[in-house]
Structure formats: C-alpha cells, structure tokens
Amino acid sequence: MTALVKALRWAWITACAVFITAPLLIVLVASVSTDHVLTGWPSGFTLEWIRTALSYEPFQVGFLYSIEVAALATVIALALGVPAAYAIARLDLPGTGLLRSIFVAPLSLPRVVTGFSFFVLYVSLMPTAYGTVGGVALAHVLLLLPFVISVVGSGLAGLDPQLEAAARDLGATPWRAFRQVTLPQIRLSLVIAAVFGFLTSFDEVDTSVFLMPAGTTTLPVAIFLRLEQNQDPTTSAVSSLMIAGSLLLAGLTAVALRRSGLFGTGRNEQKEQA
C-alpha cells in the first residue's frame, strides 16, 4: 500500500508539472519556429523572431519602463509590508484580524477593476500621476502588499519573540532590537518577497494597461498592444525571453542565498536550540 501511495503521489506531481510547464514549452517552441502559426511540430527553427523582438523599439522602451516600475513598486511594498507584517504578527493591537483582512482584500479584487479604479482616481484627482513611473508603481504596490505581508509574516511566525524581548531587557531600543535581532533572521523571507514582488510587478498587464498612454508602456502592455496589430511569433519570442529572464533571476537568487548560507539558517538555529 505504501508503494502504491508513493507511486500515485509521484504521478500526481508529474501531471501537475506537465500541466504547468506545457504552455511555457509551447511558447518557447513557437518563438524559434519558422512557421508563422504553430499547428504542430515546427517545420524548421530560426532565431529571426528573437532578433526582431530584441530590435523592436516599443519592447526596448517597455523593458526599461517595466524595470523602473517594478523596482520602485517592490521597494515601496517592502517598506510598507514589513512593518505591517510585524504589527500583525507581534503587536497585540485591537483589530489585528481586520487589518489582516484589509491587506489581503486586493487579492479578491479583479486586477482589471483595480486598474480602472486607479485610472478614475488619477484622471479626476491626480492627473499628473497618469502614465508616470510613480503612478503605475503605486497601483502595483496595492497588488504586491498581500504577498509581501504573507511571506514576511510566515518568516516572523517561525521566530521566537523572546529573543527580541531579551534584547530589549538588555537595554536595546525597540528599533535596535528589531534591526539587530529580528531582521537578520527574516532575511530569507525578505529576499523571497522582493524577488516575487519584482517579477509580479514586471509581468503585470491587467492593471497597467489602464494607467499609461500608448506611447509609454511597460513591456507586458507593449506585447498586448502588438498582439492587437500583428499575430506573428515575435510576441512568442519576447515572452520566451521574459520566461528565461525570470528563471535566470530566480536561479541566481537561489544560488546567492545558498552561498550566503541563508537556506540553512533555520535548520542550523533549530539544531543549536535543541
């Protein structure tokens, strides 16, 4: 029975992996296919579509714009999300449950609705923010906060609050105790939240499409606009580059974390406490 359960478990994991990766593989194959429309196995392979995507000016401008927006949104989301996660996890405040629900609420709101709401806000009250890096990043912060608070909150939940309390008893201020005791122990959660938030903001299209003019767009919006005009595999090529870039960033982050020893921090601390 145990062998059967293990076999079924691995079969389920394999099926899920195929289900998730199959669309990505189709995009990757379409980006190097000589066929304009991929209906089966490609009749040949070429790098023409990738060269076209790299030389297409709206994609170049959109890439730089997306980098600026994602970086700013990630920094703001961390600056707001870390204190919020700490307050929810550690401070005995009234209405903590309500505060947690408020931060998680954007997850239940369609992103199209979020984008249109910010569009109305900017047009009616903040017209100078429309189409700017700060205006788009502010909308993305609303989408990133639930993830940042969840990831950082899970990191805080695994820590012993008595360590920070001991630092305060020894004369450290609350800020110094947090900075020197708690913050180093949640570095892994902070890095994961930052990378995930950056990639989420960089790939956002449903909200961004409402917040910028056609001449100044993020890369995902530029892809969306090109799809409306042309159905060639150039969009598949730039999508493949985005997939490769995301995997590269995640891989480099994992290697950096492993070399820094952060992956083993939790296990080592548990052994030392034991």
- Each residue's pLDDT tens digit, 74-89: 999 999 999 888 888 8
Q: Closest by alpha carbon to 191, among 253, 110, 274, 106? A: 253
Q: Closest by alpha carbon to 144, among 210, 88, 82? A: 82
Dist. CA 157–CA 161, nearest whole Å = 9
Q: What mean pLDDT is reported for the chain? A: 84
236 and 49 in contact (C-beta within 8 Å)?
A: yes
- Mean pLDDT check: name the lowest of 85-94, 107-116, 139-148, 214-223: 85-94
For 231, residues 6+ apart whose C-beta sits below 8 A from its C-beta are 36, 37
- Average of pLDDT values for 95-109? 79
pLDDT for the residue 8: 85
Q: Exposed, middle or buried by CB within 10 Å (0-12, 13-18, 19+), for 10?
A: exposed
Write down the residue that tokens 């001991």 correspond to: 166
pLDDT of 178 > 50? The answer is yes
Q: Which residue would you say has higher pLDDT here, 164 or 78?
A: 78
- Mean pLDDT check: name the lowest of 156-165, 242-251, 256-265: 256-265
**Distances, alpha carbon 247 to alpha carbons 37, 81, 199, 252, 253, in Å:** 26, 25, 10, 8, 10
pLDDT of 265 > 70? The answer is no
Dist. CA 149–CA 160, nearest whole Å = 18
pLDDT digits (tens, 9 = 90+) for 195-250: 999 999 999 988 888 888 767 788 998 888 888 888 778 888 898 888 888 888 88
Q: Closest by alpha carbon to 84, among 95, 73, 70? A: 95
- Mean pLDDT check: name the lowest of 15-29, 53-67, 133-147: 15-29
Q: Which residue would you say has higher pLDDT here, 175 or 75?
A: 75
- Average of pLDDT values for 103-129? 87
pLDDT band at residue 273 under the 50/70/90 scheme: very low
pLDDT for the residue 23: 83
Taking the model in full, what pTM does it have?
A: 0.82
Indicate the residue type of 144: L
Dist. CA 92–CA 65, nearest whole Å = 41
- Average of pLDDT values for 188-198? 90
Dist. CA 203–CA 47, nearest whole Å = 24
- Domains, the chain, with CATH or none: 45-273 (1.10.3720.10)
Q: Closest by alpha carbon to 25, among 2, 49, 42, 47? A: 42
Tell me, what DSSP letter sits at residue 232?
Answer: S
pLDDT band at residue 264 under the 50/70/90 scheme: low
pLDDT of 272 > 50? The answer is no
pLDDT for the residue 141: 93
